[in-house]
C-alpha cells in the first residue's frame, strides 16, 4: 500500500484548498497568541512550524472534552429521550506527529472493544490523518521507548517527511491516504529513490527503556510503596497530564438539568483525581496520591497493553511538559525499568 512521492511544500496551499472543496474540514497546528493549538488554518503559512509538539493533543477530534450523549425532557409522567445523530464531519488532521498518529489506535481499542461506541467509530471513519515526521525532539520525548519513532508510519494515512525546506517525502499508506492525495494528484511527483533519505533527517530520540519487556515485570513492582511514594511526592493531583495526553480516555458521565429538561454528558476525567474511585460510603480504593500515581503508570505500561493489546503511552512527552511540578513520565518510567536489573 505504501507509495512514496515528493510533495513540494509550496503546493500545500493548493492541496488544502482541494481538501476544502471536497468538503473536508482541515485541522492543523496553528499559532494563537503564545500557544500552538489545533485549528483550521486560513492559509498554509498559518500552519505553525519550528516547534516540537503542541501542548494539547488532538484527541478532542474523536473524543471531545465534553460530549452530549442524550437529551431528555419530562413529558407528563413520561420522559422524552433524544439521541444525537451518529455522524461526523469529514476531517483532515494535518501536521500531527507520528506519536499522535499512533495514539488513535489506543483510543480505538478502548472505544470499540466489547461494545462499540458508534459516535467514536463515525468520527474515526471520517478522519484522515496526515502526519509530519519529527526532525527535532526535546528532553521530554520518548517515542522510541514505546514502540514508536520520529518517522513511524503507524496510524497515519499519509506521512510527510521534510527532506529539506522545499520538499516533503510523502508516504501514502492507506486507502484514505490515497483518496486525500487523489484530491490533487498533480502535486505529487515520483520519489525517485528519495525515500532512502528519510532516515537522515529524522530526529534522534534516545531509547530510555524497552516498553514490552517492562510491561512483563512492572506488576511485580506493585507493592513497592516506597518507590511510588517517592516518585509522587511532588505530584499535586491535578488532571493536566491526563487531559493533554493523547491516549488518556477515562471519562465521567454527568447529567445536567434545568427544571424538566436535561442532558447526559460524557466528560474528560482522570484517575489522578481523588474522586475517581471514591464510593458514596466514603471508601476509596486509591485514597492516597501515590496509589493514584501507581495506577497511572501501571495502566499505561502494563494493564492496557495486556488487556487491550495496545500501548497506553506514545511517548509524546506532553504530560511532562504540562506538569506544574515537572513529573517527567519518561524519567520516572526509566527509573522503574532500571529497577529490574
Partner 1 sequence: MELLRDKAKSLLTGGAVQVVIGYAAGSATDRFRPHFARSADDADRLIFGEGCRQNLAVYLLKPEVRAMGKAAVVGGPTTLRTLLQYAVENQIADGLVVALALEDGRVEELTSFAAVEEYLAQRPHGLSDGDRAELEQHAARSQKDRWAYWSAELARCIRCYACRAACPLCYCEQCITENNQPQWVPVASDAFGNLEWNVVRAMHLAGRCVNCGSCAAACPENIRIDLLNQVLAQEAMTQFGAEAGYSVRKEYALSVFKPDDKETFIR
Partner 2 sequence: MTTFATAPSASQRRNLYTPHKMRIVKATDEAPAVRTFQLQFVDAEVAARFSFQAGQFGEYSVYGEGESTFCIASSPTRKGYIECTFRQAGRVTSALADRQEGDIIGFRGPYGNTFPVEHWEGKKILFIAGGIALPPVRCVIWNVLDLRDRYQDVSIIYGARTVADLVYKHELADWDQRSDVNLWVTVDPGGQTPEWTGKVGFVPAIVEEVKPRPADTIAVLCGPPIMIKLTLPVLAKLGFAPEQIYTTLENRMKCGVGKCGRCNVGKLFVCKDGPVFTLAQLNELPPEY
Other CB atoms within a 10 A radius of the CB of residue 91 amount to 20
User: What's the gap between Cα 139 and its chain centre?
Assistant: 19
| Edge-first strand listing for the sheet containing 127-132 | 35-39, 25-32, 91-96, 127-132, 158-162, 167-172, 3-8, 188-190
- For partner 2, the closer CB: 39 or 250: 250
Instruction: Name the minimum Å distance from CB 132 to partner 2.
Output: 30
Any contact of residue 212 with partner 2 (CB under 8 A)? no
267 binds, among partner 2, partner 1, none (CB under 5 to 8 A by kind): partner 1
**Which residues on adjacent β-strands are paired with residue 297?**
none
52 binds, among partner 1, partner 2, none (CB under 5 to 8 A by kind): none
Question: What DSSP assignment string belongs to 218-267?
Answer: GGGGTT-HHHHHHHHTT----SHHHHH-SS---EEEEEEEETTEEEEEEE
Contact pick of 10, 125, 253, 325 for partner 2 (by CB under 8 A): 253
Contact pick of 10, 43, 81, 233 for partner 2 (by CB under 8 A): 81
* Cα–Cα distance measured from residue 33 to residue 238, given in angstroms and rounded to the nearest whole number: 25
Binding site for partner 1 (CB under 8 A): 33-35, 55-56, 65-66, 138-140, 229, 233-234, 236-240, 242-244, 252, 254, 256, 265, 267-268, 270, 273-275, 288-290, 320, 322, 324-326, 328, 331
Residue numbers at the binding site for partner 2 (CB under 8 A): 68-72, 74, 77-87, 89, 110-111, 113-118, 219, 222, 249-257, 260, 262, 264, 266, 269, 271, 276-281, 283, 285-286, 291, 295, 298-299, 302-303, 306-307
Amino acid at each position: 500500500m505504501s507509495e512514496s512521492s515528493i510533495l513540494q511544500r509550496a503546493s500545500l496551499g493548493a492541496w488544502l484548498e482541494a481538501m476544502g472543496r471536497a468538503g473536508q474540514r482541515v485541522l492543523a497546528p496553528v499559532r494563537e497568541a503564545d500557544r500552538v493549538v489545533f485549528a483550521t488554518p486560513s492559509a498554509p503559512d498559518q500552519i505553525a512550524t519550528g516547534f516540537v509538539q503542541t501542548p494539547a493533543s488532538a484527541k478532542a477530534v474523536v473524543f471531545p472534552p465534553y460530549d452530549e450523549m442524550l437529551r431528555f425532557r419530562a413529558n407528563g409522567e413520561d420522559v422524552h429521550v433524544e439521541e444525537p445523530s451518529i455522524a461526523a464531519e469529514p476531517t483532515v488532521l494535518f501536521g500531527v506527529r507520528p506519536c499522535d498518529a499512533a495514539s488513535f489506535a489506543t483510543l480505538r481499542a478502548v472505544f470499540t472493544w466489547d461494545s462499540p461506541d458508534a459516535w467514536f467509530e463515525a468520527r474515526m471513519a471520517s478522519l484522515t490523518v496526515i502526519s509530519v515526521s519529527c526532525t527535532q525532539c526535546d528532553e521530554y520525548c520518548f517515542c522510541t521507548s514505546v514502540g514508536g519513532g520520529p518517522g513511524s508510519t503507524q496510524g497515519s494515512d499519509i506521512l510527510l517527511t521534510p527532506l529539506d525546506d522545499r520538499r516533503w517525502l510523502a508516504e501514502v499508506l492507506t486507502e484514505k491516504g490515497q483518496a486525500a492525495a487523489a484530491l490533487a494528484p498533480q502535486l505529487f511527483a515520483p520519489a525517485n529513490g528519495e525515500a532512502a533519505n528519510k532516515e537522515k533527517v529524522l530526529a534522534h530520540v534516545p531509547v530510555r527503556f524497552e516498553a514490552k519487556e517492562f510491561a512483563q515485570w512492572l506488576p511485580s513492582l506493585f507493592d513497592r510503596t516506597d518507590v511510588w511514594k517517592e516518585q509522587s511526592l511532588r505530584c499535586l493531583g491535578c488532571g493536566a497530564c491526563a487531559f493533554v495526553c493523547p491516549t488518556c480516555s477515562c471519562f465521567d458521565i454527568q447529567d445536567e438539568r434545568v427544571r424538566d429538561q436535561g442532558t447526559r454528558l460524557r466528560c474528560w476525567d482522570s484517575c489522578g483525581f481523588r474522586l475517581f474511585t471514591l464510593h458514596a460510603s466514603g471508601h476509596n480504593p486509591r485514597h492516597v496520591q501515590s496509589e493514584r500515581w501507581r495506577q497511572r503508570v501501571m495502566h499505561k505500561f502494563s494493564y492496557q497493553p495486556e488487556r487491550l493489546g495496545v500501548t497506553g503511552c506514545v511517548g509524546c512527552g506532553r504530560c511532562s511538559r504540562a506538569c506544574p511540578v515537572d513529573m517527567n513520565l519518561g524519567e520516572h518510567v526509566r527509573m522503574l525499568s532500571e529497577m529490574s536489573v
